[in-house]
Amino acid sequence: MGKLRFASVWMGGCSGCHMSFLDLDEWLFDLAEAVEVVYSPVADIKTFPENVDVTLVEGAIANQDHLELIHTIRKNSRLVVSFGDCAVTGNVTAMRNPLGGADVVLDRAYQDAQLLRPQVPHDDGIVPPLIDRVLPVHAVIPVDLYIPGCPPPAKRIRAVLQALIEGKPPEMIGREMLKFG
Amino acid sequence: MPRTLTINGQEISARSDQTILEAARDARIPIPVLCHLDGLTDVGACRMCLVEVAGSNKLLPACTTRVQEGMEVRTDTERLRAYRRQIIELLFAERNHVCAVCVANGHCELQNLGIEVGMEHVRYDYLFPKLGVDLSHERFGMDHNRCILCTRCVRACDQLEGAHTIDVMGRGAKSLIIHDMNVPWGESITCTSCGKCVMACPTGALFKQGSTVAEMVHDAEKLAFLKAARERKVWNV
């Protein structure tokens, strides 16, 4: 069997899930043997490629860019994995939802709290427009697997990736594999 | 009069005044619970302990259903497991349970049940209600975002402290835990600041002020001790 074409994506999250991924330490060498990294925030690849076997999605869907990218990811990936609590539940990224739409938080960040020339960035292509409600990934596209945790501990990430490399469904059972937070 | 019944095919005997939950526990047969707390009366609110009883097409809460002679109870069928997961998912969807930034992270009965029922994601749309945090009490806080309306605090305040400061206002998903006639907790004239409600809370809804993420450990078992000690008049003086 050839190498798995592997991607990871950083959406509306803090990158903590990717930091936890790096906590795989020396097992990353074993992983590098088994997969070909075709897209990732730790690799400088500009466009999401086609024919991806596994894509880990960190973060919730919070802005227009995420919304567009996630559909490309679904179209081009065999397995989409919600990677961490923001992707699975919305988590901290979605804590703005009870406050109302995007304007409420933009005003708070760019208008109310600023003393000098308060203004919301508005030029096209500068900042992707926020969508009104932050959504977990599975609320936008079908998701194949979920790795909860904020962040998921490295052991949990390894257990999932190991199973996928061996072509088996990972066993998501018990505190080691399922604890949120 | 003892009663003989079967739970999951295992024959057990129980006292006639026992509930299915009590009988099952005596026989070391686990049934998940959330609104039940040893030392408080049962209300059958959360439906986590639903069981199948032969001859009834309804699922019955084990905590409020008395044992009967010849009863055949099943506690762990495919249908029950599906409903339990559904209940937990709906509780997560109804309010803002963000485990990562919760005082009770790691010490939360709702979080633990999520693990037990195998919840790796929530299939329902999150409601994201706008709810407040009451920090008016000098020692404790109430975060409505984490509340699951189990009423354990209501019952602890009423049945163990005898103050009945806490009650429930509203209906359905819009219900809220209130103090006195819906005044800020710190302005309640009946609250004795005993903290029994905080001990009883299964989630991060009630906490000691100053607790930060993952620091709030509840002492729910102390309430059962308190009740038993009162009934038996046993005190270490």
- Rounded (10°) angle between helices A27-34 and A154-165: 30
Q: Is the pLDDT of residue A123 over 90?
A: no
Dihedral of CA atoms A22, A27, A30, A36 in degrees, nearest 10, equals -10
- In A, minimum Cα distance to B102 occurs at A181
What are the angstrom distances between the C-alpha of A88 and each of A59, B93, B101, B165? 8, 12, 15, 38
Q: What is the largest CA-CA distance in chain B?
A: 54
The shortest C-alpha distance from B155 to chain A (Å) reads 29
Tokens of B170: 């509203």
CB contact (8 A) between residue A89 and residue B92? yes
CB contact (8 A) between residue B126 and residue A89? yes
Predicted confidence at residue A1, as pLDDT, reads 62
Q: Do B148 and B129 form a contact (C-beta atoms < 8 A)?
A: no
Q: Cα–Cα distance between B62 and B69 in angstroms, integer?
A: 15
Across residues A57-83, what is the average pLDDT? 98
User: Looking at the complex, does the CB of residue A142 fall below 8 Å from at least one CB of chain B?
Assistant: no
Residues of A in contact with B106 (CB under 8 A): 181
Q: A9-23, A97-111, A117-131: which range is least confident on average? A: A117-131
* pLDDT less than 70: residues of chain B: 236-237
Residues of A in contact with B130 (CB under 8 A): 98-100
Q: Cα–Cα distance between B53 and B196 in angstroms, integer?
A: 35
Q: Cα–Cα distance between A76 and A89 in angstroms, integer?
A: 23
Q: Cα–Cα distance between A12 and B195 in angstroms, integer?
A: 39
User: Looking at the complex, does the CB of residue A170 fall below 8 Å from at least one CB of chain B?
Assistant: no
Q: Is the pLDDT of residue A14 over 90?
A: yes
Kindly report, residue by residue over A140-169, the tens digit of the pLDDT.
999 999 999 999 999 999 999 999 999 999
Kindly report, residue by residue over B179-192, the tens digit of the pLDDT.
999 999 999 999 99
* Dihedral of alpha carbons A79, A84, A90, A96, sign: negative
Predicted confidence at residue B166, as pLDDT, reads 98
Average pLDDT, chain A: 96
- Rounded (10°) angle between helices B109-116 and B78-94: 140
Q: Judged by CB atoms within 8 Å, which residues 197-236 of B form the interface with A? A: 214
Q: Cα–Cα distance between B56 and B158 in angstroms, integer?
A: 34
Q: Judged by CB atoms within 8 Å, which residues 130-149 of B form the interface with A? A: 130-131, 145
User: Looking at the complex, does the CB of residue B120 fall below 8 Å from at least one CB of chain A?
Assistant: yes
pLDDT category of residue A126 using cuts at 50, 70 and 90: confident
pTM score of the predicted model: 0.95
Q: Cα–Cα distance between B172 and B195 in angstroms, integer?
A: 26
User: Looking at the complex, does the CB of residue B118 fall below 8 Å from at least one CB of chain A?
Assistant: yes
Predicted confidence at residue A96, as pLDDT, reads 97
Q: Which residue has the higher pLDDT, A2 or A53?
A: A53
Q: Cα–Cα distance between A121 and B135 in angstroms, integer?
A: 35
Predicted confidence at residue B233, as pLDDT, reads 87
Tokens of B216: 């709030």
User: Looking at the complex, does the CB of residue A2 fall below 8 Å from at least one CB of chain B?
Assistant: no
ipTM of the complex: 0.94
Is the omega angle on the peptide bond into residue A151 within 30 degrees of 0, that is, cis? Answer: yes
Predicted confidence at residue B221, as pLDDT, reads 92
